[in-house]
A and B are shown apart, each in its own frame.
Chain A
């Protein structure tokens, strides 16, 4: 079996208070949770799991990438979660209000390695969440990332006001805004540029298509999403197949993998 580096698990089981739960677009929300440990320890591509509601339905905790973690002096330490209402759990989450308490477990998973001086970030839909956090970290280091952000429709392309200094290109498959087409087609136009690392997050089909256009000598890190139960590498339920045929857990050995490590 392939040996993948494990990030030291610093996850804590904790209670967080909802600071706000903004509706950004129809069905798209930004949830801010006040929790000092999460806000100070989280790294880009790490995630947390939330127990939604206090009944047996939905049962399992739900995993969410961290969109932003801030620890600005004078402000409460918060993490932000970008989520789309797709089922029962996210529908319940959309009704959370300021002051509500939720059970959280995190930060979980292995973060993106922060490499190079000219990164290209490619996000599809809510996959932009972990890349938003990553872009913030690059900007903190005075590195200006180029971001390609695509979605099916304009409604899924949320504003990214905190990335003012980054170079952002939008793509919409319904041709309503930005590049007319999918984000991987847009990426083909930008890949010949002088980028030294690519970071991508989005639907499996998008990442699979990206694999076909990434030059083999260009480091490319992808962050995966999977249905999870434990979130810590105990149950082996979220496993994905690696190029050598063995399996790796998205929650613990991922969610970040080099694109060539995976079987597509």
Chain B
């Protein structure tokens, strides 16, 4: 009989104490929620999206709630890679020592921007993973999001791969013609894992004032509203690639996390749900342990991809 199931998982060669990761942009630089929530409970923390130069972000309003969802247009407000490496990462030593993996989410307008940041990260610590944001709906590059073009995804991924020895996760835009094509292009270019989905492009209208609600017109939809769609995309990608998949999109309880693991995700990210319940990682981990006990599994990795195995 299973008495102490293990939540430890791996994404490629990297071990995680549990499969719950705070999604980029929802957990700041790891310490903002203290003392109300302990960041060490997370298996990993993906830091706020970082760019080559500081970005002021988009004009407010930046948030609007929609049915079971949240539309945001923060616009990647961040102090830039140099400040993040010099001032933010060193504050994460205790968190890293507690075994929580540190994931730096990077955004740039072109491959040179990604490469220059990746090179700077070679001397940065603590840092375990570079997550390449090829999918932010709130900034534009040449009028097109490059996460929709497999050639651009391939070019950026291989350029960054050459520039760093750190594992690279490529974070994909959800709304493309065939997500498996994009995922395979990242895999072929050397990505260590695929993370998906980013928020869905969205628009909210103030009918009374006959204008858009958000200061930057469009935003990205997150939260429970997107879960079934995100789950489908994760399942499709997990079937299509051999590298690990990190799944996200509307996870707000252990059953949600479980669904992504069953669909083939090796780990999951939680974002909007942190806003609702800052102690969500603890709740999900407790729920997953209970699930493993009830089902008689010794390890969380035993359920990863079970959905496909039953086909």
Which of A56, A228, A231, A233 is close to B224, meaning CB atoms less than 8 Å apart?
A56
Give chain A residues whose Cβ lies under 8 Å from the Cβ of B64.
227
CA distance A252 to B29 in the complex (A): 14
Q: Mark A235-247, 1 if CB is under 8 A from B, else 0.
A: 1111111000111
Q: Do the beta carbons of A239 and B276 come within 8 Å of each other?
A: no
- How many whole Å from B123's CB to the nearest CB in chain A? 25
| Interface residue? A191 (CB, 8 A) | no
CB within 8 Å: A-B pair count: 109
**Does residue B15 face the partner (Cβ distance < 8 Å to A)?**
no
Knowing A56-B68, A60-B70, A240-B60, the reply to whether A235 touches B25 (Cβ < 8 A) is yes
Is B143 engaged at the interface, CB distance under 8 Å to the other chain? Answer: no
- Per the bound structure, the CA–CA distance linking A246 and B58 in Å amounts to 10
Beyond A10-B35, A239-B62, is A56–B223 a contact (Cβ under 8 Å)?
yes
- With a cutoff of 8 Å between Cβ atoms, the chain A residues found around residue B68 in the complex are 56-57, 59
How far is it, in angstroms, between the C-alpha of A11 and the C-alpha of B279 when the chains are bound? 13
Could you say which residues of chain A place their CB within 8 Å of the CB of B57? 236, 239, 247
Q: A165 at interface (Cβ–Cβ under 8 A)? A: no
Partner among A56, A59, A103, A233 whose Cβ is within 8 Å of the Cβ of B28: A233
Q: Is the CB of B60 within 8 A of A59?
A: no
Total interface residues on A, using CB and 8 Å?
A: 35
- Determine which of A12, A51, A56, A226 lies in contact with B36 in the assembled complex, contact meaning CB atoms within 8 Å: A12
Q: Which of B281-303 contact A (CB under 8 A)?
A: none
**Residue in A228, A232, A235 whose Cβ sees the most chain B Cβ within 10 Å:** A235
Inside 8 A of A240's CB, which chain B residues have their CB?
60
Judge if B158 is at the interface, Cβ distance under 8 Å: no
With A13-B36, A13-B279, A227-B61 already in contact, the answer to whether A237 and B56 are too (CB < 8 A) is no
Q: Are A241 and B36 in contact (CB under 8 A)?
A: no
Q: Closest approach, in angstroms, between the C-beta of B225 and any C-beta of chain A?
A: 8
Query: What separation, in Å, do the CA atoms of A60 and B64 have in the docked complex?
Result: 10
B72 at the interface (CB under 8 A from A): yes
Q: In the complex, how many residues of chain B place their beta carbon closer than 8 angstroms to a beta carbon of chain A?
A: 40
Contact A234 B77 (CB under 8 A): no
* B254 in contact (CB, < 8 A): no
**In the complex, chain B residues whose CB is within 8 Å of the CB of A11:** 35-36
Query: Would you call A105 an interface residue if the criterion is a C-beta within 8 Å of the partner chain's C-beta atoms?
Result: yes
Q: Is the CB of B35 within 8 A of A237?
A: no
Residues A232 and B33 in contact in the complex (CB < 8 Å), given A56-B223, A57-B68, A241-B60: yes
Interface residues of A in 207-260 (CB under 8 A from B): 226-241, 245-247, 252
**With A60-B275, A230-B274, A235-B74 already in contact, 18 other A-B pairs whose C-beta atoms are closer than 8 Å:** A1-B54, A10-B35, A13-B279, A56-B223, A56-B224, A56-B252, A58-B65, A60-B65, A60-B276, A229-B63, A229-B70, A229-B72, A234-B32, A234-B33, A236-B48, A239-B60, A239-B77, A247-B77
Q: Nearest 3 CB-CB pairs, A to B?
A: A234-B28, A56-B68, A237-B63
